């Protein structure tokens, strides 16, 4: 089933003939993240070029009318911006909700990107962005990436260099390439024309059914299916703030993870469970708040951020983590992590090797 049906408002129906380029930017969102998506959109508005037309396409299933109005208000008065809300419930139903594994820390919205070639049948190339990032340069720069007949352009997911992740790639995903070939799926330029031509949606779903309980189902599937036919984004378009927590300074420097010194980041992705709204003390959080505080409903964002921060601190026992007993028990917790996460992966790896022989 293919659809590009608009279910809500469509702003800025101005004649677009005087704009040089049309830049389609796609988001997936639910009511939980709508306020935070407004900050992403505000950052794009602030750093866009008046020469281009920016078409914002918001994929949703049950996004409230009030949140649609709120997101639309961010581009009010901007002649070179339009926004459309595309309800994808029917296409999700077509592929079967039971095939889309969800849990407490990710919802069905993560899967929307797998169906973009079927949803956006009139688009051949789009930018896809998660709702927990900011853009600090004109996104047209990202859109013009030379895809060289590849499926997509994406940034390295450098967490794959950590021991836990390398083991996961080898044992669970049966990864054949080098570890640093694995990419992040939260900010991409997607060649929908080639994805559609090669019928990748069917391959995405087949791969999803083949693997159970993946750590990052959407990202893992995209990597497994598109591997070898991707282009990597420059470092300034791929800055994720959680890498420092997983990788040593030596690894960060060896791979120039954060790009050349002095190069300002064009895209900052606040991946992981720590976000600028629940961890405002972290590096680069102030940049997110810079855009949040420009919005007329900033008090609403601040209230929700406070609620989410309290919930985050409660769930993560922040005070306990920084206590002396917590540090003293670090070896036991490392052993627990090994038994819970690494040992099963090692067992799968060794079993697979024996079967192979």
- Bridge partners (DSSP) of residue 153 are 189, 231
What local confidence, expressed as pLDDT, does residue 191 receive? 98
At 226 the three-state DSSP class reads: helix
Question: Is residue 6's pLDDT more than 60?
Answer: no
Average per-residue pLDDT for the chain: 87
**Structure confidence at residue 138 as a pLDDT band (50, 70, 90):** very high
**Reported pTM:** 0.84
**Which of 116, 135, 133, 115 lies closest to 125, judged by CA?**
116
User: Sorting pLDDT into bands at 50, 70 and 90, what band is 184?
Assistant: very high
**41-63: per-residue pLDDT in tens?**
999 999 999 999 999 999 999 99
Task: Count the neighbouring beta carbons within 10 Å of the beta carbon of residue 85.
Answer: 22
Would you say residue 333 has pLDDT above 80? no
Per-residue pLDDT at 325 exceeds 80: no
CA–CA separation, 242 and 269 (whole Å): 9
CA distance 317 to 324: 14
pLDDT attached to residue 77: 95
CA 180/CA 158 separation, integer angstroms: 7
Could you say which DSSP state residue 6 is in? -
pLDDT grade for 10, boundaries at 50, 70 and 90: very low
- Six-digit token pair at 68? 């649609």
Distances (CA, A) of 335 to 331, 332, 345: 6, 5, 15
pLDDT for 314 beyond 90 = no
Q: Any idea what the Cα angle at residue 145 is, between residues 139 and 147, rounded to 5°?
A: 140
Up-side HSE of residue 302: CA atoms within 13 Å toward CB? 10
Query: Rounded mean pLDDT of 65-72?
Result: 98
């Amino acid at each position: 089933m293919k659809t590009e049906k608009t279910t809500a408002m469509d702003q800025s129906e101005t004649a677009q003939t005087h704009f040089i380029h049309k830049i389609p930017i796609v988001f997936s969102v639910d009511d939980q993240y709508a306020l935070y998506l407004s900050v992403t959109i505000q950052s794009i508005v602030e750093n866009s070029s008046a020469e281009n037309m920016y078409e914002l396409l918001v994929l949703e299933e049950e996004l409230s009318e009030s949140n649609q109005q709120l997101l639309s208000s961010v581009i009010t008065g901007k002649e070179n911006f339009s926004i459309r809300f595309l309800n994808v419930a029917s296409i999700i139903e077509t592929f079967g909700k039971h095939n889309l594994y969800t849990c407490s820390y990710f919802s069905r919205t993560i899967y929307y990107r797998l169906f973009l070639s079927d949803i956006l049948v009139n688009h051949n190339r789009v930018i896809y962005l998660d709702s927990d990032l900011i853009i600090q340069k004109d996104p047209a720069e990202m859109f013009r990436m030379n895809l060289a007949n590849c499926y997509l352009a994406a940034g390295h997911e450098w967490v794959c260099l950590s021991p836990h992740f390398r083991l996961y790639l080898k044992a669970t995903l049966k990864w054949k390439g080098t570890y640093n070939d694995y990419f992040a799926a939260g900010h991409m330029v997607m060649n929908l024309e080639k994805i559609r031509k090669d019928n990748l949606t069917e391959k995405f779903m087949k791969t999803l059914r083949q693997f159970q309980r993946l750590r990052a189902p959407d990202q893992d599937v995209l990597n497994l299916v598109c591997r070898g036919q991707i282009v990597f984004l420059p470092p300034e378009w791929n800055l994720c703030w959680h890498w420092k927590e997983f990788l040593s300074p030596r690894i960060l420097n060896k791979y120039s993870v954060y790009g050349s010194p002095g190069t300002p980041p064009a895209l900052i992705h606040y991946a992981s469970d720590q976000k600028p709204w629940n961890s405002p003390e972290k590096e680069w959080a102030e940049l997110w708040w810079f855009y949040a505080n420009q919005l007329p409903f900033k008090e609403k964002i601040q209230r929700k951020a406070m609620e989410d921060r309290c919930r985050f601190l409660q769930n993560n026992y922040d005070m306990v983590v920084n206590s002396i007993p917590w540090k003293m028990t670090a070896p036991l917790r490392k052993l627990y992590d090994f038994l819970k996460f690494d040992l099963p992966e090692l067992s799968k790896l060794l079993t697979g090797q024996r079967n192979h022989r």
